[in-house]
Structure 1
Amino acid sequence: MPPQKEAPVQSIVAVPFEPDTSTTLLRRLGHHQVPERWHAVDRSAHAPHLVAVPGDDGEDWTAAALVSARPHTAYLKIVDAVGDVPAAVAAVVAHARRRGLAQVKWEGWTASPEDAAAAGFTPLRPPLTPAEHAAGPDAGYVRWLRDGVVTEPPYYGQTTHFTCGAVTALAAQAHAGTLPREALDREAELTLWRDATNFPACEPVGLGVAVRRAWPSSPVTVHLDVDRPVLLDHYPENEQQWRALLQRISRTQAGRIGVPIDPRHLSMTAIRSAIGRREHVLLLVSLAGMQGFDVPHWVLCHGAVPGAVVIEDPWANASAGDTWVDAHLLPVPDPSLDTMATVSADGFRGAVTIGRPLRRGAVPSGPADE
């Protein structure tokens, strides 16, 4: 079945979805039932709005979709579509194009694979996260609106508040084919975190050393543009001291096993160049822009489309209606990612680049000049 035609821009209504006004607005859908999940969580941090298709009278709506998105990103997510579903989805796609976005996703609460395919969407692989730690629908779909080749890594959501670094490294290696997809599980998550942790977080040098130990054939470069311990400012002085010692030990170990530490600021150009070489960049970011709280967090940069880098975020904020569908294959505009990756008050940048596995006998090269 060919994809449905997209609704003309002039036939689209887009209005904020707010608790005090949404009931009145939804009356325009008449007999179409609205899922309870639309009101089950506070989505206000992710700019929820209704994209609707008005009827001939201009008053009632024949279709509508609840959409949201993380701030400072380049996508829209359809939570549900009601009424004339193909028309509602086509309206969202047209709305996203009008805003110059890279992607539309569709949570699979009620969407069928057939409806998604007819609207030009492809299925996302279900997450590997253990069921007791997973949040969100069983299925999800994506439609890209910009050119570019983005291959899909397996998605795994971290099962603790502190294992994001380990999960991004494991996802990178699974995407590269170095780690079997089925080996990405909680035991692997906690095992790699235990080797990389600075208690409880993973700082760049310790993470890079742990990755090299786990996969000796994978070239690893740490990028850290300050020559001091990091991610310690929120601890009292006595707690900082022993963690700083562990970071100095990690630097010694990096030198011993051949993990270079590049002191230059890692630019967006360099990140894109690494992705173009089919390398993976584990990037330390602040969640202030996407989630509203300034917490350091690791994400995986693995793909690129015009104007945006595609990341995997191992954490989703379920209390805001955020699910793995948001966090998986997430396009972030280059300027937004550049801002997110400036961490802490003094603005350092930390990352770990993992290259393609070396053939036996090959000698790893140093970091490229970018």
Structure 2
Amino acid sequence: MPPRQKPPESPTEPERPVESFAPYEPDAPPPGLVPLVGDEVSERWRTVDRSAHAPRLVAVPGGEGEEWTAAALVTARPNTAYLKIVDAVGDVRAAVEAVVTLAGRRGLAQVKWEGWTARAEDVAATGFTVLKPPLTQSEGAAGPAAGYVRWLREGVTTTPPYYGQTTHFTCGAVTALVAQAHAGTLEWEALDRQAELTLWRDATNFPACEPVGLGVAVHRAWPSSPVKVHLDAEQPVLLDHYPENDREWRALLQGASRKDAERTGVPIDPHRLSLSAVRESIGRREHVLLLLSLAEMQGFDVPHWVLCHGVVPGAIVIEDPWTNATTGDTWVDAHLLPVPDSSLDMMSVLSPEGFRGAVTIGRPQERDATPRS
């Protein structure tokens, strides 16, 4: 019997060449870009210093490879797993597909698209879905009215509301409120500045929210939601940058929070919460409020609370209530933000104490009212 013949392979279409320029220099744009970019887009690209987010041009050459038929400006926060299209110009669909191809080659979890100039028909044709508009934007932010996302990895099934903190210090309160809105414990309409400041006032260690105080405040506001604090440090935390006199009274307040936790039955786990445990919590439809430093994503070492609420292969999906408008960072970056496990592991060990702080909120046993004042 003659050996089985291998069926002939179907001819494949040659891949359209994609050319990437990095970094994008707004004062010296490549010649191929100039005919594609109008005044509005040019102004947006030039007036913000995006260098901290590695701006790149993804270009689609014409048939001869000399002229460009399309281009997109893309950026991303460092140590994350996505690319963001600021604008696509020329043959918009070709530009967007080129970005998606590039993101896939890099093994990224998603591509986002700011809605400054995007048309609904182009969004639908390129496989993107509409993000719900933010309830608020961070103080000083001026992001687009619309945004879009295309996932390249499976895993995320539900989307919380995006709420940008309205002060520089209410991140902890906002992450808790968004978690409860996502869980259905709090109506989205009740997620407002009054609720934000009310919960912050109950949780604050002036002005920051440390893990135990935040956990106790969440328990007070929603007593039917199981709460656990994770803190692998016995001493007071987040005080190293204060003068000695200011450390002393803040330490007393943290001690009072620990007594409140004991009195109200809020458990404090003294072991470091692992990233695998974060994934397991999310798998149980719990929410994890995680304290991290912004040094790796934004360039300055400031403690900051984010909400971990979804998982995809290799990355945990967070909501970050703060955006850095000076770098072109918008709510589109901060919403449904995939961060590789290794990066999140590094960001969430805070120096100089070397601790990790988190609050897990379980599924509510019954419906609570809005946060108590």
- TM-score (normalizing by structure 2): 0.92
Return the offset for 1:10. Answer: 5.3
> Taking structure 1 as reference, are residues 80 and 8 closer, same or farther at Cα in structure 2, changes over 3 Å only?
farther
2:37 matched to which residue of 1? 33
Gaps of 5+ in 2: 1-12, 368-373
Give the aligned residue type for 1:315.
W
Instruction: Measure, in 2, the Cα distance between the counterparts of 1:155 and 1:21.
Output: 34
Q: Which residue of 2 aligns with 1:261?
A: 268
1:102–1:144 Cα contact (<8 Å) kept: yes
Name which of 8, 11, 18 aligns with 1:12: 18
Q: CA deviation at 1:29?
A: 3.2
Question: Could you state the TM-score of these two structures normalised by the residue count of structure 1?
Answer: 0.92
Structure 1 match to 2:110: 103
Question: Once the two structures are superposed, what CA deviation does each residue of 1:165-221 show, in whole Å capped at 9, x if it has no partner?
Answer: 000000000000000001111111000000000000000000000000000000000
> 1:47-196, aligned counterparts within 5 Å?
47-129=54-136, 134-196=141-203
Instruction: Give distance in 2, aligned partners of 1:264 and 1:96.
Output: 37
Compute the displacement of 1:32 (Å): 1.9
Amino acid in structure 2 at the alignment position of 1:32: L
The letter of the residue matching 1:103 is Q
User: Does residue 239 of the first structure (1) align with residue 246 of the second (2)?
Assistant: yes
Which consecutive residues of structure 1, in runs of 5 or more, have no partner in the other structure? 1-6, 361-370
Counterpart Cα distance in 1 of 2:266 and 2:78: 35
- Asked if the contact 1:311–1:330 (Cα under 8 Å) also holds between the matched residues in 2, the reply is yes
Task: State whether structure 2 residue 47 is matched by structure 1 residue 43.
Answer: no
CA distance in 2, matches of 1:238, 1:355: 37
Computing the radius of gyration from Cα coordinates, the structure with the larger value is 2
Asked if 1:320 corresponds to 2:327, the answer is: yes
Deviations 1:71-114 (A, max 9, x none): 00000000000000000000000000010000000000000222
Aligned-pair identity (%): 74
Offset of residue 135 of structure 1: 2.0
Q: Which structure 2 residues correspond to residues 264-283 of structure 1 after superposition, within 5 A? A: 264-283=271-290
- Structure 2 distance, partners of 1:20, 1:167, is 35
SS in structure 1 at match of 2:311: strand
SS of residue paired to 1:31:
helix
Which secondary structure state, in structure 1, belongs to the residue aligned with residue 255 of structure 2? helix
Q: Does 1:201 align with 2:208?
A: yes
CA pair 235-30 structure 1, distance change in 2 beyond 3 A: closer
Q: Give a deviation string over 1:324-355, Cα, whole Å, max 9, x none.
A: 00000000000000000001123100000000
SS in 1 for 2:168: coil
The alignment of Structure 1 onto Structure 2 pairs a total of residues equal to 352
3-state SS of paired residue (2:206): coil
The corresponding residue for 1:341 is 348
The 2-side partners of 1:359 and 1:61 are apart by 58
Q: Distance in 2 between matches of 1:297 and 1:187?
A: 21
- Output the amino acid matched with 1:317: N
State the partner residue of 2:3.
none
CA distance in 1, matches of 2:194, 2:15: 49
Tell me, in whole angstroms, the C-alpha distance in 2 between the residues paired with 1:282 and 1:30: 45
What secondary structure does 1:344 align onto? coil
